[in-house]
Structure 1
């Protein structure tokens, strides 16, 4: 990962942050789940070395690490943080160039119960003469081979964060934004996974840039099949003659970056003065849905496309990086404004449940039956929102790979779960299908609403599954609704 900036420096400081997620079971969100850090432990031995307080008398020439239990905040920028001191440990490594009177401070933070490593970089110039910073690396990681698939979240307005998997090959593969914001087109995230990695098992590494402006993220495979990862912000590329009439020529390359810093500063003032207010970010839908903005507004509008069928892909792709509590999701009017598609109120609600949930429609235009359905949906969401916000999320069937989408969320104690099943088009004489669940306690017995009172053990539900019988499989007495754009919600409670 890299930052690239073109600016003159005189007693200035630049910072950037990268978050790296490492998980052997990538179906789960890493937020609040107890997983041993494992592969990031080798950083701990740096803890014994002190960091120099100044450029003089600093001991060894190249690097001076210090170990701290705290995460330092980055002034004017979003950053990771902890609520308790024992949640993470931090290593700071200072690199010094005495000739240029420059210092680079690299800060690595290890989260003790999560497979997460974050890095920030601070560049300090304390000399008397100006120097020009041509390029600065936010992060760079070399891997011993190229046998990975590069997972990116691509799209455009109205269809943000669709999953794309591409095998790595010799040369450079990249995503970027030159639009002044992280953009609808490419989320500032790259995932590398082995070809055999599934939602439940395998090697996967994720990289997120905690920044909301221009960036470049790339994977380069050299002719020896060694893989290197880059993410960078770019402060000197123009979208539409971007400049500041009130500043000197040397400043113009920093306009994009200063604009983003101004947004961060405004958010900092607002959230500090009104801590009880929940701010939701939006930029033509999901045009700036990134870790930088989510630092200040933990809820974001992920897309202006509110069609429930299209939202399956957008929410599924977004869930690769972000928890449900980040995703703004609404039940909107039909025919849908973007697609002109008419989807049942039941399915629109069933999709929106797996997010923050809300309505954007004229309730006075609803029938009495639809109003009663809205009341039922609100009651269900009020009862379930704690599980939706804090539970463990599983992706079971991808909308990018077939006619069905399935996901589920279960409580940390594995006593509750909610499963969402969605079928886009109806098939004829399709046969019986089984929906295998995940993450349950194999020894607990679960009762599933509307599927009888006898219950099923967790291992049955994970190895055999729920039989999805309806009229398409010949069960013409089934009460499951008919037609396209079907959704079913299964609610599990352990005895």
Structure 2
């Protein structure tokens, strides 16, 4: 791991021996991007395009270098580059023009943190950071670009900080977290899209001339598009081929934009949503962009995913939960919905304990006046008619049975029918003289306001301070509307969406630091705010409200592109499924969930004796392997038939492998499926624990294992391999 300067070439080269990132100065004034990809021993400029006349546009001197063709490291607008800028600040002149001029670069002795945003962290010796200082003469602002390279993770962490060093206020309208120039070529553009109950669907299309983009206006990262893109070779597969990937460590509105110009060159960006964002900086004030994680893999999509996993596991997730199995839980929602009682809790928790589960989670309903979503949100006063003795009585009951106790909250919302709203109607997001829009009978609280944040902190401390809550499910069930604050002047309302997220992070930071042993799970009607920013505080996230095995196989396959399996909540629920009506075998529901963060969400009293016995065996099997699964390497596998899913986890020492194959509809004309393993030791033999058959690791990876035919829909096959001594 090193950051190397070459004064004769005017270059800086970041490398950890596996990837390299190279920038170069043009005449000591402008910063250009030169290379990102597999590690180079040194940079000699062999891949730099030669100056040549190609278009009638603005030229740089007499060199046949064109501003509209230069690979700018952090491009600006209005000075001859007509592609999408990454930086736009308006000063006292009002001109929509910026020009960033290089002032100097330096190596920092530690990775910068942040007091307001989630960012990756690293201990001494685990990373190196380059800071590049630039100055915009038009607006009078100083911009510092930060590049962190890690010893153990093949990602570059990117972040910017702008300071108004001039005498007058300035207005930021665009500050991207990353801008990457790639040479002309053929690329596929991969993104994740979806909606409630259909999150993380993959879209892979050829990149074309023009602009292709994803983004969110939800006020959160949203289920519509993930804050992620990948650019990959059209021939790249799960296991081979070059892939560039980028994810944003942020939970609010964003834009991810890729532009291919007329000559095939590519500019790819990720950052704050520039269509709605604006921020005023007074003289001397500063502003940070969210952090972005940029990766390169020559090992296909699995390689990209595993690069992200390492970065998230070791440098972003709460350290308390790094490599630690999560408790197997029973969630009350699909078993009780809003109609909760101590009697039901005791019955369900007692059965859960008998089956080997470890945590009982009381979901929505415990504070409601009735058994629906129309009231009481925001007050957070337990309905003691439903739960005599309140939450402490419920927690004592569950603890007395030998289980941990978890509780559901939706802190960011408030019901119109609540004491909080009646007393503080100005605490919600709303536009003056316009009736606020309800969503799920709720409004959003204005988290940009200090008194609102303090109210939420007081509520959470009141419950968590008892020491009787082991787990919090933090939900957020409506997107942002009426994005205006009573505390902001009219000219600063464009700051509201970002200020909301900063307020959310401030609350999460205090609560998670105050109660580090409490397991926090994020949720937003499922996976509507599942992003790297939330994972900095929450060690796991509810992946989708859709618990149907067939749909979950697709949803989890999509999210696994970015996030390690232990952070993705996966529950076994009842059949016919409450969301889809589909009937699937109990064993299939378990198999689809077991490689991820396993839980159960069903009324155990409605299960037959045989089903309860099967669940007990499932829980025991999950416990037997979870210590190595949570630290292992996750692989997605190519399938013969569309709709089938194959995945496996290989232990760190390559001594064990657990593989799951999910097959959708029986097809008598289909060939027998062959499962080709990944990540095994080719020089080692492995025994199939169920059959006793011994295979070579090389044979399993190259020839594969033929799966027996099965005349059944939605069936799974699980293969457990153990290395032969």
TM-score normalized by structure 2? 0.57
The structural deviation recorded for 1:103 is 1.6
Give the structure 2 partner of residue 93 of structure 1. 132
Write the mapping of 1:17-416 to structure 2, written as runs, cut at 5 A: 36-40=17-21, 62-82=102-122, 84-97=123-136, 100-234=139-273, 237=276, 240-397=481-638, 402-416=642-656
For 1:148 and 1:435, locate their aligned partners in 2 and report how far apart those are by CA, in whole Å: 28
- Residues 236 and 256 in structure 1, CA contact (< 8 A), matched pair in contact too: no
Structure 2: runs of 5+ lacking an equivalent: 1-15, 25-99, 278-479
Q: C-alpha separation between the residues in 2 aligned to 1:128 and 1:429?
A: 75
**Counterparts of 2:626 and 2:651 in 1: how far apart (Å)?**
11
Post-superposition Cα deviations, 1:257-290, rounded to whole Å, max 9, x if no partner, equal: 1111111001000111011112111111111111
- In 1: Cα distance, 2:19 partner to 2:506 partner: 36
Tell me the distance in 1 between the aligned counterparts of 2:18 and 2:117: 26
Query: 1:118-138: per-residue Cα shift (whole Å, max 9, x none)?
Result: 111111114442112222232
Residue deviations 1:145-179, cap 9 Å, x none?
A: 14110000011111111111010111101111111
Considering only aligned residues, what root-mean-square deviation do their CA atoms show, in Å?
Answer: 2.1
- Secondary structure of residue in 2 paired with 1:155: strand
Question: Pick from 443, 459, 478: which aligns with 2:683?
Answer: 443
Residue 236 of structure 1 deviates from its aligned partner by 6.3
Give the drift of 1:183.
0.5
More displaced 10-residue stretch of structure 1: 388-397 or 307-316 = 388-397
Question: Are residues 39 and 348 of structure 1, via their aligned partners in 2, closer, same or farther at CA, if it must alter by over 3 Å?
Answer: same
Q: Map Cα deviations across residues 169-215 of structure 1 (whole Å, 9 max, x no partner).
A: 11101111111111111000000100111111110010111111111
* CA distance in 1 between partners of 2:622 and 2:523 (Å): 23
> Does the Cα contact within 8 Å between 1:36 and 1:114 map onto a contact in 2?
no
Partner secondary structure for residue 330 of structure 1: strand
Q: Distance in 2 between matches of 1:323 and 1:150?
A: 22
The answer to whether the Cα contact below 8 Å between 1:37 and 1:113 also exists between their aligned partners in 2 is no
Query: What is the alpha-carbon distance in structure 2 between the residues aligned to residue 398 and residue 463 of structure 1?
Result: 15
- 1:406 touches 1:422 (CA, 8 Å); kept in 2? yes
> Are the structure 2 counterparts of residues 228 and 493 from structure 1 closer, same or farther at C-alpha, using a change threshold of 3 Å?
same
Matched-pair contact (CA < 8 Å) for 1:235–1:254: no
The structure-2 alpha-carbon separation of the partners of 1:432 and 1:161, relative to structure 1 and needing over 3 Å to count, comes to: closer
Q: Deviations over 1:208-263 (max 9, x none)?
A: 11111111111101111111102231376396332112321122111111111111
Equivalent pair of 1:235/1:257 in contact (CA under 8 Å):
no
* Residue in structure 2 matched with residue 27 of structure 1 by the alignment: none
Residues 24-54 of structure 1 deviation map (CA, whole Å, 9 limit, x = unaligned): xxxxxxxxxxx943233779xxxxxxxxxxx
Structure 2 CA distance for aligned equivalents of residues 332 and 471 of structure 1: 24
Change in CA separation of 1:61 and 1:321 when aligned onto 2, cut-off 3 Å: closer
The alpha-carbon distance between structure 1 residues 226 and 236, as it changes in their structure 2 partners (threshold 3 A), is closer
| Alpha-carbon distance in structure 1 between the residues aligned to 2:671 and 2:116 | 58
Question: Could you tell me which residue of structure 1 aligns to residue 326 of structure 2?
Answer: none
Provide the TM-score with structure 1 as the length reference. 0.83
Aligned residues of 1:188 and 1:208 also touching (Cα < 8 A): yes
Tell me the distance in 2 between the aligned counterparts of 1:232 and 1:100.
Answer: 21
- Contact 1:235–1:253 (8 Å) recurs in 2: no
Alpha-carbon distance between aligned partners in 1 of 2:655 and 2:22, rounded to the nearest angstrom: 33
1:461 aligns with 2:700: yes
User: Whose radius of gyration is greater, 1 or 2?
Assistant: 2
For CA contacts below 8 A with separation 6 or more, give which structure has more relative contact order: 1
Q: Which of 424-433 and 84-93 deviates more?
A: 424-433
- Deviation per CA, 1:302-327: give whole Å up to 9, x if none: 11111110011100011111110121
**Cα contact 1:37–1:111 (8 A) shared by 2:** no
CA distance in 2, matches of 1:324, 1:424: 22
| Residue aligning to 2:450 | none
Aligned with 2:717: secondary structure? Answer: strand
Q: 1:295, CA displacement in angstroms?
A: 1.0
SS at match of 2:234: coil
Q: CA-to-partner distance for each residue in 1:445-494, whole Å, 9 max, x for gaps?
A: 11112222x4111011112222212355xxxxxxxxxx211011100100
2:117 match: secondary structure? coil
2:519–2:538 Cα contact (<8 Å) kept: yes
The more displaced of 213-222 and 131-140 is: 131-140
Displacement of 1:433: 3.3
Deviation at 1:441, TM superposition (A): 0.7
State the distance in 2 between where 1:216 and 1:492 align: 43
Q: 1:458 to 1:151 in 2, by over 3 A?
A: same
